[in-house]
Amino acid sequence: AGEMLQMDASVHLWFGNDKSQLHIAVDDATGAIVGAYFDPQETLNGYYHVLHQVLTNYGIPYMLFTDRRTVFEYKQKNSPSVEEDTFTQFSYACKQLGIEIKTSSVPQAKGRVERMFQTLQSRLPLEMRISGINTIEQANEFLNSYIKEFNAQFALPVDNIKSVFETQPDIEKINLTLAVLTSRKVDNGSCIKFKKNYYLPMDCNGHSVHYRKGTVGMVIQSFNGEIFLCVDEKVYALDLLPGHELSSKNFDLAVPNDQPRKRYIPPMSHPWKQDSFERYLKNQAHRNNSVA
Alpha carbons 40 and 19: distance in angstroms, whole number = 7
Instruction: Identify the pLDDT of residue 216.
Output: 93
Domain boundaries, the chain: 4-68+103-169, 179-287
Instruction: Identify the pLDDT of residue 80.
Output: 63
Instruction: Identify the pLDDT of residue 191.
Output: 92
Tell me, which fold does domain 4-68+103-169 have in CATH? Nucleotidyltransferase; domain 5 (3.30.420)
CB 206 within 8 A of CB 263: yes
CB 179 within 8 A of CB 220: yes
Q: For the sheet containing 20-27, what is the strand order? A: 33-39, 20-27, 4-12, 63-65, 100-102
Instruction: Identify the pLDDT of residue 244.
Output: 58
Instruction: Identify the pLDDT of residue 250.
Output: 47
Alpha carbons 18 and 39: distance in angstroms, whole number = 11
Cα separation of the two ends of the chain: 37
Instruction: Identify the pLDDT of residue 73.
Output: 56
CB 237 within 8 A of CB 265: yes
Please tell me the pTM assigned to this model.
0.84
Instruction: Identify the pLDDT of residue 50.
Output: 96
List the pLDDT tens digit at each of the 292 positions of the chain. 567 899 999 999 999 999 999 999 998 888 889 999 999 988 889 999 999 999 999 899 989 988 765 566 554 445 667 777 788 889 899 998 999 988 766 655 567 888 899 999 999 999 999 999 999 999 999 999 999 999 988 876 666 666 667 788 888 889 989 999 999 999 988 899 998 899 999 999 999 999 999 999 999 999 999 999 999 888 999 999 876 555 444 445 555 556 678 888 887 566 566 778 888 888 876 665 444 3
